[in-house]
Structures are given as C-alpha cells and as structure tokens.
Amino acid sequence: MSTRVPLGVSPSPSLMTRRDVLRAFGAIGGSSLMMGAMSACGLMGTSTPRPALQGQGRPPDTRVIVLGAGISGLATGYELGKLGYDYQVLEAREWVGGLCWTVRRGAEHTEVGGERQVCDFDEGQYLNAGAWRIPNDDEGVLGYCRELDVPLELFVNWSDANYMWEENPERGPLAGRRVRLREVKADLWGSTTELLAKAMEQGQIDAPLTEEDQELLVRFLVRAGYLDSDDLVYRPPRLRGSGNQDPYDLSALLNSGFATQVRSLNAGTGGPHPVFQPIGGMQQIPLAFQRAMGDKITLQAEVQSIHQTEDAVRVVYRDTRTGREHEEIGDYCVCCLPMSILQGIDVDLSPAMANAVNESGHSNSAKMGLQMKRRFWEEDDGIFGGHLFARSLQLGEFSYPSNDYFTEKGVLLGYYGGGQTAGLGDMPVQGRIEHVLTQASKVHPQMREEFETGYCVWWDKVPYSLGAYGRTPPPERLQQLSQADGRIYLGSAGASSQPAWIEGGIQSAWRSVETLHERVMQG
C-alpha cells in the first residue's frame, strides 16, 4: 500500500500510526523532512539541525571553497549546493572519502618512510581501512544513506560464537584454551544465579522484598541462569554448545579475566545493537556524494596555502598530475582537512585559532586486512561476524567479516589497534603481517595455511592523513574551533565533539554551513 500523502492534506491521526506519518513525510520530502518530523515527534537527539531545513531564502552570488573530500567536505559541499551556493571542493587524492577508505584490488599507497603497497585482494574482497561501523543513532550518517541510496546491512559487533583467549598461564586453567563467549556467559550467569538463588532460599539475603517478590526473583534466577527448578543447580543448556562438557569453574572464569569483558548489555564500540555497514564497504557513502556532486569536486588538487583578506579567501593548490600550481578565489573557505595536515599548511588564522589547531591531537590507529582462501571461521568454527576477544595476543580488535557469508574467500580484520603496539609501526609491512599470523594462529591454527595476501594501513604513515581520527577536544578548544576565523570555517570531524565518528564530520559540516549561511543572509 502506498504511504504517499498529498501535500496540504493533513491525515487524520486516528487513521495513521506515528510510523505511517514518518513514512509519509519521508515519501514527500526525502529524509530531511523525515528527520524534521522525527525531531518534532521527539525521536531524535538535540544535535545540530540539518542546514537544508534552516535555508531561509537564496544566497546572493557567493562562492565557497571547500577543502578536502572526506565525509565532512562532501557533506559541506552537498549542503551548500542545495542552498544554491557556488562551491568547489578541492581534494588531494585521486579518490574521495578520506578516512572512509575501502581498500580493494588495485588500491595503493606509499607510507611516509617509503614502503609502497598495492592491494592484490581478489575482485570483490575488501577491507574498510578506516570507518567500518555505523551506530544506529547516528542520524546524520543514516539520513544521508537513505537520501543518497546507499544500501546498508547489519554489522555483527558481538557474537556468542566468538572465542575468548588468554595467553598468560598465571591466569589459571583457562589460559591457552579457546573458550566461546557463549560458554563464558552461560557459566558466569549459571554460577552466580545459582549462588544467589540458593542464598535466597536459605534466607541469607537481606533485601527489602516481600515473600512473593522473593519467589518471583527465584523464578527469574532459575530461568535466566538455566538452573534446575528442583535443586537450583546450574545445568548448562544445549545452547551453550560444547556437548556434555561440564561448566567452567567460577573461580577459573573470574581469574581468566574473561568475566570483566562480558556485561548484561554489550558495551562494545559502536553502541547498542543493531550496528550497520554499507553493503560493499564504507566508501560507498562518499562515492554516493560524489555521484550527486559531479564536477564540483576537483581531485588531485593538493592545497598549499590559504590566505584571506577582508573580502575574499585565496587558496593555492598543486595539481598532482602536472605539478602546476593553481588558485581558487572564494568569498569564504570551509576547511575540512585533517588537523594533522592543517598544522603543516601555510594558512592565515588568528593566534587563538592557530593555537587550537596546533593543540588538536589524533590517534595513531592502524588496520590490517588478511585475505583468506577459505572462510574457515565460518566452515570450521561456526563464527559469523563479531570479534576475537584476546587482549593478550596484541592484535587489537581482530574481527570476522559481516558481509558475503557462505562465499568462498573473505578478508579478516587481522589487526585494529594502536600503530605502535608490539612495535608494529617500526616493522616493515611483512613483519607486521607475520606478527598477526603468529599470534592469531594460536586461536585459529588454519591461519597460515589459508592466508593469501594482506594490506596494512598505518594511518599516521598515510600521506594526506598523517594520523587516524582526532582526539576529542576539550570544551574551550571545541568552542574556538567552531567559530569562524575571518572568512575561514573549520568543518572537519576534528572540529566536533565526535572526531572519531563519521557523525562528527557531518555535525561539523552542518554547523559550518548553517553559520556561514546565516552570515551571508544577514548581508
């Protein structure tokens, strides 16, 4: 049934659910109208509103130069275009997306320090080298996915089939054994609910509960912990897997360190389930912007300097194909370059803003993708997405792909963590891969046999990034970064309260566009 509602006709609330109303708004005005409606219904947080909703009138002939075609520069240009501005985005690389880089066959980069890699994954295989998961409350990102037709799929951020592993023998009898997350959870719940239920039965719990409450609580404990209702003893359910194996001893579980990694609700990065990812890789989002913006993006334009007068901004860039310098003149500039890059550029900023930029830090995160001949984690271990919980192996986050299940090959995220963990950043690429194969083989002995090829992205060695996501600025610095500095606005994720998220880049873009537009319209 169509949910389209003619404009100007208000549907009878008694005939439509709130969901119907939202769908109808979406059908008429696209996701921006839907977002507005969601706000009105109290379904959205209080983040910066989308500038398209604020657009009062058309701007006079105003040109804006946007620097960087990462997510923030793309969102800035796209929204300026919708408001009727004359704009141009300058991007140093041959491709758009910045930290939303999906590495596929043919992708390449040369690390600062000299080592060059060319990706030779099979066609169709990929690694999200930067951003990889979208929390379900990142309204800006999800709104653009709807608006620009970027299909999404679920990202499995936590699976009960995943393994936990502890290396250190001093951690007790579970050290050096693969233990499933579901075993740890079931046995921890089982043992603790058994203890509590028995203590309740014996009147050892001093709690303000009526007799009826106590009975209900015991019933809850029996059900939640898989206790036998007769003797209140934990009997591992079949769901725990591992056949008739006895449960792990509570003391062993506590000593292993596994207990501190599980909670009633998953507290993993990415927020509460569900978490999403674009089908075909995170770069699908910037590519969709690029399709919508056409020739408004100049690639291979490496910004050299940004100068401003009272009336204009002049940006000089180098065409990386010819080596020649060109200039762009605009009324305003929105700079969406990473802070690490801006710190090295010749730019007219006030002392206060220059300080704020120079004090902005970034993480040195790194990722490694390993293409495997066979999805052995699925075929042999029944693992479909999620992570390996093995802090002691120095692999950072080791993860299984949430895409293309049951196909032949796959790319494991062999490493996601600090670039200098275990001295990896000082090793050649092959040495880093060797570290991961050695360590991960302790849990997955198939690793070496199935390994085909790898690709490493150590972000602080990647030209035009020189670092991974930014560090969250303290409030005073954020306030400084959020202001216009003459005719220059800073619009990157690093100038937001969420620099480690795509949503931060979008919020920063929206803030720049909104404040710039207000200024232009006030004349």
Ligand X SMILES: Cc1cc2nc3c(=O)[nH]c(=O)nc-3n(C[C@H](O)[C@H](O)[C@H](O)COP(=O)(O)OP(=O)(O)OC[C@H]3O[C@@H](n4cnc5c(N)ncnc54)[C@H](O)[C@@H]3O)c2cc1C
Interacting residue with ligand X among 259, 464, 478, 515 (CB under 6 A): 464
Contact range with ligand X by CB under 6 A, out of 4-12, 132-140, 352-360, 438-446: 132-140
Contact 73, 315 (CB under 8 A): no
The 279-318 contact track toward ligand X, x by CB under 6 A, reads: -----------------------xx---------------
- Say whether residue 93 binds ligand X (CB under 6 A): yes
Interacting residue with ligand X among 26, 51, 77, 98 (CB under 6 A): 98
CA–CA distances in Å: residue 51 to residues 206, 289, 510, 513: 56, 16, 6, 7
Interacting residue with ligand X among 148, 336, 395, 513 (CB under 6 A): 336
> Would you list the DSSP string of 341-358?
HHTTSEE---HHHHHHHH
Burial grade of 95 (CB within 10 A; 0-12, 13-18, 19 or more): middle
Cβ proximity to ligand X, 247 vs 499, nearer residue: 499
Contact range with ligand X by CB under 6 A, out of 62-70, 112-120, 253-261, 378-386: 62-70
Contact 126, 335 (CB under 8 A): no
CA atoms within 13 A on the CB side of 400: 27
> Could you give the CA distance from residue 8 to residue 6 in angstroms, rounded to a whole number?
6
Omega of the bond prior to 274 within 30 degrees of 0, cis?
A: yes
- Say whether residue 455 binds ligand X (CB under 6 A): no
CA atoms within 13 A on the CB side of 452: 15
Residue nearest to ligand X (CB): 70
Cβ neighbors of 444 (< 8 A, separation 6 or more) are: 376, 377, 381
Rg of the Cα trace of the chain? 27
Contact range with ligand X by CB under 6 A, out of 229-237, 258-266, 375-383, 491-499: 491-499
Interacting residue with ligand X among 78, 132, 226, 332 (CB under 6 A): 132
DSSP type of residue 497: S
Nearest one of 181, 199, 192, 248 to 225, comparing CA atoms: 192
- Say whether residue 73 binds ligand X (CB under 6 A): yes
Interacting residue with ligand X among 256, 283, 492, 512 (CB under 6 A): 492
- Say whether residue 70 binds ligand X (CB under 6 A): yes
Q: Could you count the other beta carbons within 10 Å of the beta carbon of residue 453?
A: 16
- Say whether residue 341 binds ligand X (CB under 6 A): yes
Cβ proximity to ligand X, 225 vs 494, nearer residue: 494
What minimum distance in Å lies between the beta carbon of 418 and ligand X? 11
- Say whether residue 158 binds ligand X (CB under 6 A): no
Here the tokens at position 474 are 């303290």
> Could you give the CA distance from residue 373 to residue 369 in angstroms, rounded to a whole number?
13
Interacting residue with ligand X among 87, 469, 489, 510 (CB under 6 A): 469
- Say whether residue 369 binds ligand X (CB under 6 A): no
Interface ranges with ligand X (CB under 6 A): 67-73, 90-93, 98-100, 130-134, 302-303, 336-338, 341, 365, 367, 459, 464-465, 468-469, 492-493, 499-505
